[in-house]
Copies of this chain bind each other. A is one copy, B any other.
Amino acid sequence: MTYCVGMQLDAGLIFMSDTRTNAGIDNISTFRKMFTWEVPGERVITILSAGNLATTQSVVSQLEERSKVPHERRPSLLEAPTMFQVANLIGETLRDTIRGGALANGANAETQFGATFIVGGQIKGMPPRLFLIYPEGNFIEATKDTPFFQSGETKYGRPILVRAYEPGLSFAEATKLLMVSFDSTLKANLSVGLPFDLQIVPAGECRIGLETRIDADDPYYNEISKGWGNALKQAFRSLPDFELHLQ
């Protein structure tokens, strides 16, 4: 499995992804799931991938190849005029890749080769935008009502996002929120694993503001992980107990 979150804030975009892939529980590997195309000051586009690794790697390779040979028949991520067109382009590439694999392997293979992308970024002169792209190639965009997208093993880490997210969070606070959400997932599910990749894209700058990898001995992550366990217990204790009247 996988766990990825892309989040829209007043301050810009923030992304986090784990790095565990598995084919069965006894075959796990570490693969980066965060990919970025950047022309600093002009555009920044980040993808978080979830799903069949062969599919996602193929899509990323195709996007990458095209971005290095501009003026091809198919436009590249670096030429698309808007983030909507970027999402369209990635969606089409994803769908064609899945269909190609399915055509070569029988009709039922479409699910097997499926993948989902969270795509966010900003092109100069336009606001930052965030999309969730489905295996079918279509996509939805984050709004004020639904300002973040999760992919992969989304459920464990969702309650804290739902409750603590605010658009006005600073990047420092949002990083903390993502750490807690990822830590809750990690504690409950073997298919999500360290290290995590973190990226921050400040609004209006069209460039990566911060990109870092959080590994198992990262002191801040460990402080959060341990601190969150204690803070949760304390939060739990702070609530009134049920008034019990046994029969």
Question: Which positions in A face B, CB cutoff 8 Å?
Answer: 153, 155-160, 162-164, 170-173, 175-177, 179-180, 184-185, 187-189, 200, 202, 208-210, 220, 223-224, 227-229, 231-236, 238-247
Q: How far is the CB of A231 from chain B (nearest CB, A)?
A: 4
**When the two chains form the complex, which single residue of B153, B184, B231, B240 contacts A159, counting CB atoms closer than 8 Å?**
B184
Contact B241 A188 (CB under 8 A): no
Main secondary structure of the interface of A (DSSP, over half): helix
Closest to A239 in B: B227
Contact A223 B208 (CB under 8 A): no
**When the two chains form the complex, which single residue of B158, B227, B235 contacts A228, counting CB atoms closer than 8 Å?**
B235
Q: How far is the CB of A69 from chain B (nearest CB, A)?
A: 29
Contact A241 B172 (CB under 8 A): yes
Copies of this chain, complex-wide, total: 2
Given A210-B246, A245-B210; A163-B229 close (CB under 8 Å): yes
List chain B residues, Cβ under 8 A from A187.
159, 162-163
In whole angstroms, how far apart are the Cα atoms of A189 and B162 in the complex?
11
Closest to A238 in B: B231
